[in-house]
Structure 1
Amino acid sequence: MTARKKNGGSIAGNGQLFAAIQKKIIGMGGISVVFTPDRLTESTIQGYLYVPGKQKWIEVSAPIPDLIYNRIPFRQAEKTAETIEAFIKFADQNIPIFNPCFLDKYVLYEILNQNEEMRPCLPATIAVHNDGELQDFLDKHHSIYLKPRVSAQGKGIFRVMKDSEGTIALESKRKKISFGSYAKFWAHLSPTVETSKYIAQEAVTPARLTGHRFDFRILAHWGENGYRPTGVGIRQSGQQELTTHLPNGGKLLPYSLVRSSEHDQFIEKIVRICGESLSSELGFFGEFSIDAGITANGEYVLYEINSKPMSFDEPEIEEQRVRNLCNLFFLRSGFPIPTQ
C-alpha cells in the first residue's frame, strides 16, 4: 500500500484503514506493507508493517509485492519523479496497481458523458476558461455551482445565482455577496478561478428530507462479480445548503430512511458503469466512492466520484470495505480467496 512521507519523516495516509487491512489479511494468509515510492529498490521495498498483537508499526524490508493499492494521499505527491518511476517499474514487472490516480472533475465528466445511460444523470458542465464562457453558461442556467477540478469534500465550492434583473449572488460556505453586474462579479471572482482550474456545473433542485437536501454517499468495489456497491449512507445538509459533507456541518443518516428498489437499481447501475468506464479510460479502479442524489422531480443525479475514499462513518460499511479490499487483493494477484 503506497503512502507519502511527511516533512518530519512520518507517514501520511489512512493509518486506521491500513491497520484494519493488516489485521484481516493476516487471517487470510497474506501480509500488507505500507511504503513510500522513494523507499523502493531493485528487489525490495522498505516500509512499515502493522503488528496487531502489539498494536504497533515496525519498519521492515520486504520483497516487491504481488499487488499495489495506491493510497498516496496528495495529488502533487502522485506527480513526483519517484512515484512515476516506481509505478513504471511495477508496470514493467506486470505487478497490478489499482486506483492509479486522483480524478479531475472535468475529465470525469467527459468520460461519463460518453455513456448514453449516464448522460441523463450528469448536470450540464463546462471547464471555465474565460469570463465569456462562464457568462453564457450562467445566462443559460441562472443557477450554477463553481467547483475546483481537483478538490474534494466540498472545498472551494461556490454557488452563483442570477435573477431576472441581472443581479448576481455569489454564495460560499461562509458568506453571500451580491453584485449589480457580471463585470463586477467577474472582477471579484477571477483571481480565484484563474489561479485554480474550475468547472461550472448546472445547479439542480434537490429532493429534501425534513426540509434539507440529502445525497447518497456510495462506496463501491470490484470483485468476482464485477463492480458492486459495498455500502450506502445518506448525507444531509445542515445550516448551509452548499454541500452535505460532514466537515461542513452535514448530518449522517441511514440509507434505510429513503431506501427503495428504484434507488437500489440506480445505485447498482451507476456503480457498474462508473467502474467500467474509469478502468477503461484511466487504468484499473478497484475502489471508489460516489456522491449522487435525486432531484425534486425524482430524477437521479451523479455529482462526483472519489478515487481515494476516506473512511466511512458507518462501521458496518467500513468493515465490509476491509473484507472486499482483502478479497480484491487476492483476486488481482492471481491467488484464490482463502476459505474463512
Structure 2
Amino acid sequence: MTVIFYNHEKKQWFHQDKNRSYMFGYQHRLRFANDAPSFSLPVKERNGKIGPFVGIMISESSIPALLKRKKQYVELIAHSLQKAGSVSIVLPFSAIAERSVQGYVFVNELERWMPVTAPLPDVVYNRVKSRADEKTKSFQQTIALLDHLRIPFFNRSFLTKWELYEALQNNERLRPHLPATIKVQRVDDIRMMLQIYGSVYIKPNEGAKGKGIFRLTSSPSQTYVMYEHINGQKTLASLGELAPLFASGRYVAQQAIDADTWKGSRYDLRVLVHYRRGTYAISGIGARLAQAQQLTTHILNGGKLLPYSKVKNRIDESLLRDIMDECGKEISKHFGFIGEFSADIGRSKDGQLYVYELNAKPMIFDEPDIQRSGTKQLIALFEELTGFASS
C-alpha cells in the first residue's frame, strides 16, 4: 500500500514519494507535492499504477441522498473498494468532461462525502436510477465520450422485459427456459394467451420490483376472467374493461408457470451473477416466498425471505449455472457489456427452471452473505477490466 493525498483548495491529487512516479486514473500522471493535504487515502499500486480508480455514475437527483448517507448500496461499494486499496468517486453523469470529473469521495476519517475534482476514472459503473435519465442527451453524450476513450463502462442501461425476451428467445439453449411472452397492444392479444395458457401475468414493460403486475385467469367455462392484483381480486365479465390499459402498449403478457410451492406458497429464486474471466458465474442464490397474495414474491410487495437451504435440494444448480452463463453472454451480445445482473428464476412443479426476469442493476440483497460475495466479485471485475487483477 502507498498513500495519495488531496488538497481541497487547489483541487489537486498528489503523492509524496519523491523517488516514485505514479499514474492515477485514465492517462493521468499523479503530481508530486509537499502541499498540506485535506485528506489522504491508502491505495494499492501495481507497476506504477494506482487503483483502480472507479467511477460510480449516478443521477444528479441522487446527490442530496448520497450526501445525507442514504444511498446504502453506493456507500457499500465505495467502502469495499477503499478497503481493497482502490479509489472510488461517485459522480453524476453530467459531471464527466473530456479530461476530468467532478464528484464525491468518501473519507472515513471525516465520516462524510467530500467534493473533489479528479482525472477520468479507469472504469465507470452505471448506477443511474431511472430510464428517463438514461434517455437524456447529457447521458448519451457521456456514453459516447467513454466509448471514444475506450474507458470500460457497464451496465449501459436498464433492460425492458420485451427487449430481453426478444434477445433470449433467439438462443436455442435458453428458449425452453422462457415463459411464453408477448407485447400487448390489444385485447385480442390477451384473449389468445388465455386460450392457450389459461392464466397470464401482465407486467409493465419497464417496471421493476413487482410494481404494477397483475394476473388474469380464465374461468373453466371461459365465461369470465379473474383479475388479481397485489391488493385483491375481482371478476371481469369482459376483457374489454382493460382495453384502454392494453392500448397504451406499455405491457407484456407472460405465461403463468405452474410453480413449485413450499408449504403451500409458491416461491422463486433471486440469483446474483457477475462476469469473471470470460464467463458469468453465480455469486449467490436467495429465495423468496409469496404470502397472502400469490401474485408476487417481491418483499416490497408482500413477499417473504425464504432461506435457500429450504429448497436447495429441489434445484438443479448445474443447469442453473449454465442458464445464467448463457443469459449473460446473450444480453452482453445484444446490449453491450453486462458486468453483473440478477435474475428471477422460477421452478415449475415438474422441475423445469424458468427465467422470469433479468435485472441489469441489482440492488442490495437481503442476505448479507450474498451481498458480501457480490461485492467481492464486483471489485474483482473492476480489477479485471483495468488490468489490476492477478494473473
Give your verdict on TM over 0.5: yes
Instruction: Answer with 262-271 or 206-215: which moved more.
Output: 262-271
Q: Which residue of 2 aligns with 1:74?
A: 130
Counterpart pick for 2:269 among 216, 231, 238 = 216
Counterpart pick for 1:4 among 56, 59, 67 = 59
Is 1:62 aligned to 2:107, yes or no?
Answer: no
Q: Which residue of 1 aligns with 2:105?
A: 49
Structure-2 change in CA distance of 1:226 and 1:7 (3 Å)? closer
Deviation string 1:201-232 (CA, Å, 9 cap, x unpaired) is 11111100011000011001011362100000
Is 1:97 aligned to 2:150, yes or no?
Answer: no
Map residues 1-340 of structure 1 onto 2, 5 A cutoff. Answer: 1-6=56-61, 10-11=65-66, 15-163=71-219, 164-181=221-238, 185-186=239-240, 188-195=241-248, 197-224=250-277, 226-260=279-313, 262-337=315-390
Asked if the contact 1:109/1:125 (under 8 Å) is kept, the reply is: yes
TM-superposed deviation, 1:126: 0.6
Instruction: Answer with 262-271 or 244-253: which moved more.
Output: 262-271
Counterpart residue identity of residue 233, structure 1: G
Asked if the contact 2:58/2:92 (under 8 Å) is kept, the reply is: yes
TM-superposed deviation, 1:129: 1.5
TM-superposed deviation, 1:34: 0.6
Asked if the contact 2:184/2:249 (under 8 Å) is kept, the reply is: no
Provide the secondary structure at the position in 2 that maps to 1:32. Answer: strand
Identity %, equivalent residues: 36
Counterpart residue identity of residue 168, structure 2: L
Unpaired runs of at least 5, structure 2: 1-55
Q: Counterparts of 1:255 and 1:263 in 2: how far apart (Å)?
A: 13
The TM-score, its normalising length taken from structure 2, stands at: 0.81
TM-superposed deviation, 1:133: 2.2
Provide the secondary structure at the position in 1 that maps to 2:321. Answer: helix
Q: Which residue of 1 aligns with 2:44?
A: none
TM-superposed deviation, 1:54: 2.9
TM-superposed deviation, 1:337: 4.3
Q: Counterparts of 2:63 and 2:331 in 1: how far apart (Å)?
A: 35
Instruction: Answer with 34-43 or 236-245: which moved more.
Output: 34-43
TM-superposed deviation, 1:160: 0.4
Structure-2 change in CA distance of 1:261 and 1:207 (3 Å)? closer
Structure with greater strand percent = 2
Counterpart residue identity of residue 174, structure 2: M
Q: Which has the higher contact order (CA 8 A, sep 6+)?
A: 1
Q: Which residue of 1 aligns with 2:34?
A: none
Asked if the contact 1:3/1:11 (under 8 Å) is kept, the reply is: no
Q: Which residue of 1 aligns with 2:26?
A: none
Deviation string 1:14-50 (CA, Å, 9 cap, x unpaired) is 8222222222222333211110111122211111111
Counterpart residue identity of residue 180, structure 1: A
CA-atom RMSD in angstroms: 1.9
Q: Counterparts of 1:318 and 1:121 in 2: how far apart (Å)?
A: 26
Deviation string 1:180-219 (CA, Å, 9 cap, x unpaired) is 23xxx22x22333333511111111110001100001100
Q: Counterparts of 2:269 and 2:314 in 1: how far apart (Å)?
A: 14
TM-superposed deviation, 1:269: 1.1
The TM-score, its normalising length taken from structure 1, stands at: 0.93
Structure-2 change in CA distance of 1:309 and 1:133 (3 Å)? same
TM-superposed deviation, 1:11: 4.8
Q: Counterparts of 1:144 and 1:316 in 2: how far apart (Å)?
A: 34
Q: Counterparts of 1:90 and 1:84 in 2: how far apart (Å)?
A: 10
Unpaired runs of at least 5, structure 1: none
Provide the secondary structure at the position in 1 that maps to 2:297. Answer: coil
Provide the secondary structure at the position in 2 that maps to 1:38. Answer: helix
Provide the secondary structure at the position in 1 that maps to 2:57. Answer: coil
Asked if the contact 1:169/1:177 (under 8 Å) is kept, the reply is: yes
Counterpart residue identity of residue 25, structure 1: L
